[in-house]
Amino acid sequence: MASSERMMAVAYLYLHLIVVRFVLLAEYLLGDDVLVAPVLERGAVTKDVYLPTGLWRDEVDPEHPLYTGPIWLQAYPAPLETLPYFTRVTPSND
């Protein structure tokens, strides 16, 4: 791999980590079993949500679907009147 290709790969990974870090800073756990992912971007109606290890119930969706983490939920519907939050159904192994 040429030096310029390595630099581009490093730059891509660095920018990817910045984006991931921003998304993760915009989520928080209340205790070990409630994850809240508020929308912080003005005008946004969707949000990328990261669910850590465990089985998570979507408390906003009336059908309460379950997700097995770790997983990224991309473009999760989150209009202004919705606060995305999830409860862990199974304990974490952390």
Per-residue confidence at 9, pLDDT binned at 50, 70, 90?
low
Residue that wins the pLDDT comparison between 19 and 52: 52
Judge whether residue 16 has pLDDT over 70.
no
93 falls within a domain? no
60 falls within a domain? yes
What pTM does this model have?
A: 0.70
Task: Please compute the mean of the pLDDT values over residues 10-28 and round it to a whole number.
Answer: 55
76 falls within a domain? yes
Q: Tell me the CATH number at 48.
A: 2.60.40.1180
- How many domains does the chain contain in total? 1
Alpha-carbon gap, residue 94 to 88, rounded angstroms: 13
Give me the domain span that covers residue 60: 3-88
Per-residue confidence at 92, pLDDT binned at 50, 70, 90?
low
Radius of gyration of the chain (CA): 16
Q: What percent of the chain has pLDDT over 70?
A: 70
64 falls within a domain? yes
94 falls within a domain? no
Alpha-carbon gap, residue 64 to 17, rounded angstroms: 31
Judge whether residue 94 has pLDDT over 60.
no
65 falls within a domain? yes
